[in-house]
Structures are given as structure tokens and as C-alpha cells.
Amino acid sequence: MKRLGSTARSWRYVLLAFMLAPLLLALALDRAHARDSAAFDYGLVPRQIADGVYVLEGRKEDFSTANGGDIANTGFIVGTAGVIVIDTGSSRRYGEQMRVAIARITPLPVVLTINTHHHPDHFLGNQAFPPDTLAALPATIAGIEAEGGAFNDNLYRLVGDWMRDTEVVVPRRRLAAGRQLVAGRDIELLALGGHTAADLVVIDHVSGTVFAADLVFNGRAPTTPHADIPRWMEAIAQLERLPARRWVPGHGAVHEDTEPLRQTRAYLDWLSRTLQAAAESGLDMAEAMTLPVAAEFRTLALVEHEYRRSVVHLFPAAERAALGSR
Amino acid sequence: MHTPLRSARRPRLLASFAATAFALAALNAQAKGVSDDDIVNDATITTQVVTHGLGTKGQRYSPLDQVNIETVKNLVPVWSFSFGGEKQRGQQSQPLIHDGKMYVTASYSRIFALDATTGQKLWKYEHRLPDGIMPCCDVINRGAALYDDLVIFGTLDAQLVALNKDTGKVVWRQKIEDYKAGYSFTAAPQIVKGMVITGNSGGEFGIVGRVDARDAKTGKLIWTRPTVEGHMGYTYDAEGKPVDNGISGTTNATWPGDLWKTGGAAPWQAAYYDPDVDLIYIGTGNPAPWNSWLRPGDNLYSSSTIAIDPDTGKIVWHYQSTPHDGWDFDGVNEFISFEYNDPATGKLVKAGGKADRNGFFFVNDRTDGKLLNAFPFVNRIDWAKGIDLKTGRPIYDEEKRPGNPFAEGVGEDKKGKVVFNAPSFLGGKNQMPMAFSPKTGYFYVPANEWGMDIWNEPISYKRGAAYLGAGFTIKPLHEDFIGAMRAVDPVSGKIVWEVKNNAPLWGGVMTTGGDLVFYGTPEGYLKAIDARNGKELWQFQTGSGVIAPPVTWEQDGEQYVAVVSGWGGAVPLWGGDVAKRVNMLEQGGSVWVFKLHKS
Amino acid sequence: MKPAHPARRTVCAALGLACAAALPFVAAGRVLAAAPALQPGADPLDSSRWDDMRRAFFADAPVVFDDRIAVTAPFSAEDPLNVPVAIDATALGAVREVLVFADFNPIVKALRVEPLAAPAAFGLRLKLQQSSPVRAAARTADGTWHLGGAWVRTSGGGCTLPSLGSGSAEWQQRLNEVGARLWPGVGHGDRLRLRIVHPMDTGLAPGIPAFHIETLEIADGAGRVLVRAEAFEPVSENPVFSFDLPAGIGAAGPLRIRGRDNNGNLIDAEVRP
């Protein structure tokens, strides 16, 4: 899940930004509304899904001033010597409230804070965690460096004052795939990709829990702004071979079997075939957007919306192929 | 053709002649410094221009009359100087003249010292700007200040730099504020009692407006005065430590919640000073954000003229021209000290005049701020039906405030009702300074006739990000003109004459003892107009749009006129439909100097 | 999205945002200007710019808002540099020309199409600077302009960002390269789709002059011009067009696509059925 914002960093673009002020400033939040609605309390309650393994389940919604960006799952694993955090949420406030929630469960220090990929609902809470514990795959670090500022700007527009004082903190520790003891816990990292250039999967071997990040969606339509669909489907195939006891998807409910993997793969398969077929049959992009979502996916949250976004992401390549244009 | 100079108006003429001749000879260490006397008497010392405004009162009146309604037809260029490089845009600088040298700033925080008679370059200083600067309205600079052997100017990354005026070497450098939070600086500093007085810019980024006084020779802070109610002002002890000097206003009296912490009200133009009443006058910008529904109350001291005691750093009086602004009507325009005889009592009134962004011309008692007169200087004003002279407050037309985006029934994108308003947010008059002639008693106001569609939207504060909560489209009101140079009688409130201009006027004005009004146009002309009747007498095409105020001085018995040329500024960036009227104009960067043809 | 194009990231920039407000896709029924034909002056899209638009494009000519001209566009623009728009004015009968424009773009006019010997149905992508009505105006033989349109929400930036092509040398090597294909029996007859490699620079990005395709003509095998189009700066980079052509149009031999940009570079391609 991600939202891009203007990456216009140079002053030149700031000038331009002003020219365009109406739009740049267009969205953002109803300050009064956000204040009244929540006092910016995400109401985070960690749910224990295995011994020492906790999940904070986000809503199956899009970013809004009502949900403050709490739309992705985060989690943590309590080892004998410390806590491993998996994703930090969408804002400084989220990160801070997550730390409070962790502290209610264990006095142990956070020793490793993982950003599974570079989408903003997964790393913008980094400010709340010790800087030297922040870690990610190298391509994720590069992605946060390149696009983090724009994501952050954008979330201010989408969820408003929930974002107060949120700044991008780029993880410095570079992770690699492999199995090792972390905080006394047997942890394995898989370096995959397809949802973005780098998607990190965290396996807790003792409990058989797999944090599958945004490679897996459950009951919510997958998002594709940085997607490489064949690579993504290959990654899911690889995950399906794992002897896991439970799956924590990036979005949607924790599940005991591989149904969310099957569902995600089936949707991606339908999506790419539909768009290829549309391009091959001479449809215009505007027409491709009006195609109906297949019946079996209509129960997925936000599927109409995500389908139309995906047309914009994926149709141009299918169209170039159909037109024989490089 | 040569009109003899009448030296009676120029008490320091002879001494100045000598100094000028001497300065021409050399760049050596014996160069003459700029004294406090030079500064407070700048309006009458015709051999120099050492202040922004041709005198700290900012009247932009020169008693020189060699160039006059008869002779101006013989005005010809003497030299022109290109600022060079690729930074050809947005030249808004008023040159300073001293000791035979011109000190002129240029876009992108550059300053040049030139020989005033030949245009030969003596030195230049280019400030190294970081990538993240956030000027709202182009990379402009409006000029420098001179004091002793220093020339002082501010930079787009919100720093003050003092250079040795003879060598161009940096003597001191001070940070005004953090550019990353949206602060910048574009105004000309003003010297008052040995202090360099500056404001700040960044009202579109939710900064906090503030006026600073520093020791001009060292750059050390003497006092600071925030222009948003609720913030503490400070004086500074010998070690440079801040000492509480009282909060501006009363916290939360005119601002709700913590909105005042990002309240804008940037005093982004030059300060002016009347030594007679010993007060500093400076205007403040719009409150932040633009969306006024988020900040019920008057939002002091936004959109105001404030008078500060230079010795204490405290606000002596304020007059808010647009309380609870909802249209980006900054109150930054210059408050110019002038005198007139009250028509009823015949008594001399110590007044000040200001042509506000909001379309009204205000006349206040400059000793206490009391409103004496207020009248429109543009053809159409929507947002208010008038100004109540008893209360000093506008009579709002509530239908003309952009609709509340938080009200029931607002659409899914939370855009409030669009309303049409004149003037547009670029103002009945903007940054371009007007002039006052004590000879005619008129103000010469570079006005613009335009309106806007404006609407409000939700917005959240993010440090260093634009903080408006509004959208807009500017529209011309007339097919044949936007700009109008107007002679305004501050006592009768009448427009005496006007000269229309197709493009919006964006340069400043100067008037002279020769009964002339000089101003530039975006079309590239420097023009001379008869100050009494508006008759156009002379014009010269400078090759790029003029958005800067002209100056004049005399040297070796000859009167010189100078203006900077180089299109840019806010209009092409913000102008909406107006941008179409100016998109044929080309950018540039040069200074032009003129004098009378002799034969 | 290829990581090799950092500029693309910038561009996508704006894209995610506007989609926040997930509303049903209004275009699903193809007819967006759902209101029945209205009286002149009452803009069903309630745009504050409408009076300016009418003055600029139609002067004193009769104008009606007419649901027989369908404009299909997304409710929100995921990528403001590539907003797909499909126009179908065939229900009006013979149409002399169709104008496509966006009220709030800094350059309002995007495309002018004369369906000389073809159905008045086509598709394009355009750049949007901010949320705006996207409109199509079709002039019928009696001189009346028939208007359809839809609001497209966007966070903007489309017109003043540099084109991707400007950032690489590729545009010059492949300039005006055409990829095209004719699909029999799609749309109102046969459908021609084509993609032209061109930066379509608006002149509004700093330091990059306006550089865009100006004219495009599609002729049948006998040399008869079927569609003539005039393109303006807001058309997307590497534009992709769809044009509906008479059924069986390929029978007379390959179609010819010809045109030029404002620098005089020529476009010339053949499409074999």
C-alpha cells in the first residue's frame, strides 16, 4: 500500500508548487474534524497470535482523516533479550503509540525495527524507534531515501493532523536474507520482491508465524503502484512452499492457512490477464477502466478503486505490447 | 539644455561633490563611510541614495529638478550593466548610491558594486544558496542597506550578510531563521539608530513573523519583536543571551488554540522610520493558513501596520487593515510618513499613508495609529463595503468570504464555496512601493485592477510545507488594462489622474522636484509622467520587464536616473488568467542609468 | 514501473493522492454528463471557469449541454500526467469538429478533432494540472456546440513537470516513431489505436520550451483523409490515441498516418490491416 506525493525537492519545484498551489494544497485534512473525532488516538491493542508474537491489525480502508492512516498490519516479536518490531505504521503518532503498546506487554528494549518495504504506511512511524535499530533491505532503504519525502507530504494531505511532526527517518542498517538468532529468537528473513522492488518476509520459526508484508493481502484488494506482477506471483509461489502455521498479511486478517496467498495470487493473475486482453482487443484505457471486476473478487475491500488505479499502473505496458511499440 | 541646480535644497552639496570626485579616483581604504546623519537626511542629500525609500520615511521623493517636465525629453542612457550568468529573472532591487558607487542586489542573492558614472564593475558577491530554499514569489531581492563601511543585504536562505562596501569581503553574517521551516528573506534592510532592522518572509509556510534589530556594525541581536500575538519578544544582553521583553499582545486573545504558533504575519517588506516621532513602521503579512475558518478571531498582528519603539523593541501602536483576513490581503505595504493641513482646522497633521493590498488607502495619525481617512484606490472592492472611520474596522460583505469547507453539505473533496472577489490576492497594490510628493501633496500609487475566484480547503501544518488551505484563479477585470498609475489625494480621497497599463504594474514609483513621476512597466518601459496631470512625457525600452523602483541622484552637476530591469516576480508564478497577458515577456537582469543629453 | 526512470517516480508523485476519495466510477455507464440537455448557461458541472470557457471557445455561437456526447474519464486521476479520456459524439449524427479541453488547466485546449469521414468517437490521454472538468464540445452542421464532460479530481502537477523524455536522450532518437494497429469491429466500425513517441513538452516546465505534436491526419488507402486532429500541449507524453473509423476501412489498402510537431518534425506511418 502506498501513496506517492510530489517529490519536488528543489526550490525550483517549490516555486512551481506555488504556481500550482491550488492543487498541492487541495487535499489535506479537516483539522477540526480530526481533533474532535479521535484526539489522535489510534487505539492500538496488540493481539497475541502465538507465544511472544503480536499483531496490530490495520483497517481494510484507504487513507483517511478518520483512520489516521492505520490501514496496514504491524507486529512485534518478544524474544528473551529484546523486541523485534515489524513495520512502524503511518505516522510519528502511530509509532509512538505502538511503542507504548509494546511497553505495556514487555519491559524489554526494542533491538531490531524492520521496514518490510518502502510504502509509507509501513515506515513513517520510524521516528518513535531507536535510530540504530531501524533496518531494511538495501532497495527499501533506497526507496525511502528517494520517495519518502513525497510519501510523507502526501500523507499529510490524506490524513491531516494525525501526521503532526512526522518526518522521514531512513533506516541505516542493511538487512540480507538469512536465518539467525535475534534477541534470542530464531528468525529467518526472506528477501523477495514484486509488490515493490524489495519486500522482506520475516519468519518466526518457533511459532511458525510468517509476516508476509504486502506480498499477501487478505480480504482487501492488492495495490500495484510499484508492482512487478510476474515477480510478485513467483514470490507468492515461494511462500506457499513454507511450512507455516499462520500468516500475517500486510493488509487484512491473520490467517492459519494459505488461503490469503491463493487469493492474492488469483487476483493478480486475473488483473494482468484482464488488462492484457483489454489491450489486445483494442480497448482504450478509459474503456479498460470500466470493465467489471470478476465476481470472485468483488468481496475484496476497495477492489473497484484498486482496479482502476491498477489500470493506470499496468495498462500502458500491455498496450505498448499490443501496439508493437517499444 | 541645462537647468541650473538650485543648491538651497541641498545643504551638503559641496562636501558631497568633493567626496564624489575623490571616490572616483580610487577604491582605496580611505573611502567614505555612511553616517547616521547621512541616513536620516537621505531624503534631502541629493548626491546619494543610502536608504531604501530615498529617505527612511520612504517617500521616494527627490528634490532634484534638472530633469523636469521640460528637459525629460532629452533623457538618454549613460550605461547599462548585465547581472550576467544564467540567473536572468526577477529583478526587484532598488539601487543605492554613495560616494560615486552604486550598490545593487540581483536575483538569487547576488550583490554588485559598480562605478556609478561608468557602470564599471568593482566587485560582486554571490551567496551560495542551498537547494531547499522556499521563496514564495520568485528568487528576488529588493535591495541593500549601507552603514559606515558596510553594505548589508538579506538572502533567500534567510541570512543577513554584511560586506565591506569597498572590497566586497564578508565582514559578518547572521542567520535570521531556518530556511528549512519556510523562512526566507527578500526585503531591503533599513538602518535605524545604528541598528539594522529586518523582518522575515514565509507567510505561506506557517512561519512566525518577527522584526529583528541588530547592531549594524557587528550583526549582534539587540531586540526581536514577534508579529504574531502570543509569542515572546526578547532583548539581548552583552553575552547575547535573550531576556524576556514581553509577549506580543495577549496569548489566545485573537487566535484559537495553538494556531498562533504557525500564524504567519510575516513582515516581509522593508521597515521605515520617522526620526521626528522616533518610530519604526512596518507592515505585516497574511495570517496563516489562508483558510480563515480554521482561525476565528482578528489574528493579531497579521495584515497590520505596526509602530515599534526602536529603543525598547515594543509595539507602540498597531492598525489592522484586514482583521481576520480570508483573502491573502497582506498588510505589508509601506506606511509612508507625510504631513498635511487638516482642511477643517488648518492644523498640521503628522500622518502616514498606505495603499493596502485590500484595495483601500488608509491615512493614520502616525503618532498613535488613529485612523483618519480610508477610501478605495481601485475601481472595485468586493470583500468589504467600506471602512468604518469611527471603529477603524472594515464593513465586511460576509457573502464574499470563501465558503466554509467544514460546513455541512460540502462535497466529498471538502472544497468550500467558490466566491469572486476584487481585488485579487495579488492586491490593489502589492510590494511595489508608491511615492509621495510634498510638492503636489499626492501619493503616486501603482495600482492593479483584478479579481479572483477563491475557495477554501482543509489543510494541516507541516513544517516547511505550503500552508494555505485555499485555491484560486486570478482574473483581469478589464480587457484593456490591469495596471493603473494613479495620483491619489490623501486628504480628499480622490483619484486625481491615472495612466493605464496593459500588464499589472509591479515596479515601484519615484517622484521628483522636477514634477515628474518615474515608474517601470512589465512591458519593459521606464516612463516619466507629469506629476501634476498624468501626461506621459518620456519612455525608454529597457529590454525586459521592469518590476523595481527607480532612483535618482546628482553627480558632478548632473542628475542621474537608474532602474533595474528583469521580468519575474509573483505575477507569472501566481497570475492565473493574468499569466496569459504577460507570458510574452522575456526575463532579464540588468541595471540602466540615464542622464540628460548635453548638446 | 521501471526503477530506471527516476523522473517517472516524480511524476507518479501526484498520482496516488487524489484517489483517496473512492467513489463509484461514474463513467461506468459511459455517459458522464448524465444530466439531460440543459439550457445554455447552466453548467451541469458547476465550474467557476465556465463563463471564461464559453467566451474563449464559443463566443456567440449556440451552446447546449447535451447527454448525447459522452465523455468517459475516471473520477480521480491516479496519474495526472496520463488521464484517459474517451469521447463518443456519434449519437449527434454528423459532427464537424470536436474540441477537448479542461477548464482549470493552464493551457486549456488539449485536442481538436475533425471527423471528416469517420464516426465522432476517439480517445486520448491528457495532463491535468489540478482537479478540473474535462469537456468535449461537438459542433454540428447547424453551428451548435454540444457539450459533455466530467469532473476529474487530481492532486495535479501534470502540466509543469518536465516530460520524462526530456530527461533522457531517447526522445530524440525515436521521435515521432509510431506504433499502431487497426482492430476491425471494435467501437463504431474499425478501431485505430496509435502511440507516437514525443515528449509533448508544455513549455511550462523551467528551461524546456514548448515542443508538441500539432497536426495529425489519418487517410485511407485511397488517400482520402478520414480524421484530422490538432493536438496541443496538454496531450500526454508519448501520446496514445484511439480513433473509430468506418467499418472495413482497411480494404482499400494500408491506412496512412501523417502529421508534424511545432518544430516541423514529420510523422509518417502506414498501418496495414
pLDDT tens digits, one per residue of B268-296 = 999 999 999 999 999 999 999 999 999 99
Residues 443-472 of B with CB under 8 A from C: 453, 471
* CB < 8 Å to B180, chain A: none
CA distance A124 to A121: 6
Percent of chain A at pLDDT > 70 equals 88
C-alpha A34 chain-centroid distance: 23
Backbone angles phi, psi at A136, to 5 degrees: -165, 170
pLDDT at C36 over 90: no
Of residues C10, C12, C16, nearest to A8 (C-beta):
C10
pLDDT at B417 over 60: yes
CA distance B104 to B111: 6
The answer, for C153 touching chain B at a CB cutoff of 8 Å, is yes
Question: B18-22, B68-72, B144-148, C246-250: which range is least confident on average?
Answer: B18-22
pLDDT at B440 over 50: yes
* Residue A18 to residue B204, Cβ atoms within 8 A: yes
Helices (H), B240-295: none
pLDDT of res. B24:
46
Backbone angles phi, psi at A77, to 5 degrees: -125, 125
Q: What domains lie within chain C, and their CATH numbers?
A: 6-271 (2.60.40.2470)
Mean pLDDT of A201-224: 98
pLDDT of res. B14:
42
C-alpha cell at C69: 456526447
Grouping H, G, I as helix, E, B as strand and the rest as coil, residue B144 is coil
Does B440 appear as a known binding residue? Answer: no
pLDDT of res. C20:
24
Peptide bond into C209 cis (omega under 30): no
pLDDT at B116 over 60: yes
The answer, for A39 touching chain B at a CB cutoff of 8 Å, is no
- In sequence order, the 6+-apart residues with CB closer than 8 A to the CB of A243 are A208
* CB < 8 Å to A304, chain C: 22, 24-25
pLDDT of res. B412:
57
CA distance A297 to A265: 12
CA distance C153 to B142: 39
CA distance B356 to B361: 6
Of residues B131, B406, B462, nearest to A11 (C-beta):
B131
pLDDT of res. C203:
87
> Phi-psi region for residue B182, left (φ > 0), alpha (ψ -120 to 50) or beta?
left
C-alpha cell at C239: 501520446
Mean pLDDT of A278-303: 97
* Residue B475 to residue C106, Cβ atoms within 8 A: no
What topology does CATH give the domain B7-592?
A: Methanol Dehydrogenase; Chain A (2.140.10)
Q: Which of A7, A18, A92 to mutate to test the interface with B (most CBs of B within 10 A)?
A: A18
* Residue A3 to residue C194, Cβ atoms within 8 A: no
List residues bridging with C133 in a β-sheet: C151
Show me where the domains of chain B are located.
Answer: 7-592
Taking a C-beta distance cutoff of 8 angstroms, is the pair C131, C175 a contact?
no
CA distance B421 to A111: 58
pLDDT of res. B29:
47
pLDDT of res. A34:
35
Please tell me which residue in B38, B148, B166, B328 is annotated as part of the active site.
B328
Residues 197-216 of A with CB under 8 A from C: 197
pLDDT at C13 over 60: no
Measured CA angle at B545 (ends B544, B546), to 5 deg: 120
* Residue C21 to residue B413, Cβ atoms within 8 A: yes
Distance to chain A for C54, nearest Cα, Å: 23
Cα→Cα distances A131→A83, A105, A135, A164, A198, Å: 14, 22, 9, 19, 21
CA distance B12 to A317: 78
Mean pLDDT of chain B: 93
Q: Which residue has the higher pLDDT, B43 or A7?
A: B43
- Cell 493574468 belongs to B578
B328 as an active site residue: the answer is yes
The answer, for B475 touching chain C at a CB cutoff of 8 Å, is yes
pLDDT at A32 over 50: no
Q: Which residue of A has its CA nearest to B293?
A: A32
pLDDT of res. C33:
37
Taking a C-beta distance cutoff of 8 angstroms, is the pair B51, B273 a contact?
no
* Strands ordered across the beta sheet of B61-62: B61-62, B509-512, B516-520, B525-530, B536-541
pLDDT of res. C154:
81
Does B448 appear as a known binding residue? Answer: no
- With 0-12 / 13-18 / 19 or more C-beta atoms within 10 angstroms meaning exposed / middle / buried, residue A181 is exposed
pLDDT of res. C155:
67
- In sequence order, the 6+-apart residues with CB closer than 8 A to the CB of C44 are C33, C35, C38, C65
* Residue C22 to residue A305, Cβ atoms within 8 A: yes
pLDDT band at B7 (very low <50, low <70, confident <90, very high): very low
pLDDT of res. C7:
29
Does B421 appear as a known binding residue? Answer: no
Distance to chain B for A168, nearest Cα, Å: 12
Q: Which of C45, C49, C130, C131 to mutate to test the interface with B (most CBs of B within 10 A)?
A: C49
Backbone angles phi, psi at B587, to 5 degrees: -75, 170
Question: A156-165, B1-10, B398-407, C174-183: which range is least confident on average?
Answer: B1-10
The answer, for C48 touching chain B at a CB cutoff of 8 Å, is yes
Q: Which of C23, C48, C78 to mutate to test the interface with A (most CBs of A within 10 A)?
A: C78
Does B328 appear as a known binding residue? Answer: yes
Chains contacting chain C through 3 or more C-beta pairs under 8 A: A, B
* Strands ordered across the beta sheet of B336-341: B336-341, B348-355, B360-365, B371-376
Choosing among 3.60.15.10, 3.40.50.300, 3.40.50.150, 3.40.50.720, the CATH entry for A11-257 is 3.60.15.10
pLDDT at B575 over 80: no
Q: Which residue has the higher pLDDT, B556 or B31?
A: B556
pLDDT of res. A27:
31
* Residue B579 to residue C130, Cβ atoms within 8 A: no
3-class secondary structure per residue, B151-187: EEEECCCCEEEEEECCCCCEEEEEECCCHHHCCECCC
C-alpha cell at A64: 483517511
* Residue C10 to residue A6, Cβ atoms within 8 A: yes
The answer, for A156 touching chain B at a CB cutoff of 8 Å, is yes
Of residues A23, A32, A156, nearest to B462 (C-beta):
A156
Taking a C-beta distance cutoff of 8 angstroms, is the pair C215, C176 a contact?
no
pLDDT band at B333 (very low <50, low <70, confident <90, very high): very high
pLDDT at B487 over 90: yes
Percent of chain B at pLDDT > 70 equals 94
Taking a C-beta distance cutoff of 8 angstroms, is the pair C149, C267 a contact?
no
Grouping H, G, I as helix, E, B as strand and the rest as coil, residue C169 is coil
Distance to chain B for C214, nearest Cα, Å: 20
pLDDT band at C165 (very low <50, low <70, confident <90, very high): low
Mean pLDDT of B64-72: 98
pLDDT tens digits, one per residue of C79-124 = 999 999 999 999 999 999 999 999 999 899 999 999 999 999 999 9
List residues bridging with A205 in a β-sheet: none
The answer, for C65 touching chain B at a CB cutoff of 8 Å, is no
The answer, for B297 touching chain C at a CB cutoff of 8 Å, is no
Grouping H, G, I as helix, E, B as strand and the rest as coil, residue A245 is coil
pLDDT tens digits, one per residue of A127-158 = 999 999 999 999 999 999 999 998 998 899 88
* CB < 8 Å to B107, chain C: none
Mean pLDDT of chain A: 89
Taking a C-beta distance cutoff of 8 angstroms, is the pair B194, B149 a contact?
no
Grouping H, G, I as helix, E, B as strand and the rest as coil, residue C92 is helix
The answer, for A305 touching chain B at a CB cutoff of 8 Å, is no
DSSP symbol at C236: P
ipTM: 0.84
pLDDT tens digits, one per residue of B154-174 = 999 999 999 999 999 999 999
- Cell 509591479 belongs to B506
* CB < 8 Å to C181, chain A: 282, 322-324
List residues bridging with A290 in a β-sheet: none
pLDDT band at C41 (very low <50, low <70, confident <90, very high): low
Grouping H, G, I as helix, E, B as strand and the rest as coil, residue B230 is coil
CA distance B164 to B154: 15
Q: Which residue has the higher pLDDT, B193 or B413?
A: B193
Q: What is the largest CA-CA distance in chain C?
A: 52
Backbone angles phi, psi at B114, to 5 degrees: -130, 150
- Cell 487484512 belongs to A252
pLDDT at B443 over 70: yes
* CB < 8 Å to C6, chain A: 146
Grouping H, G, I as helix, E, B as strand and the rest as coil, residue A153 is helix
Q: What is the largest CA-CA distance in chain B?
A: 75
Taking a C-beta distance cutoff of 8 angstroms, is the pair B89, B95 a contact?
no
Backbone angles phi, psi at A13, to 5 degrees: -75, -25
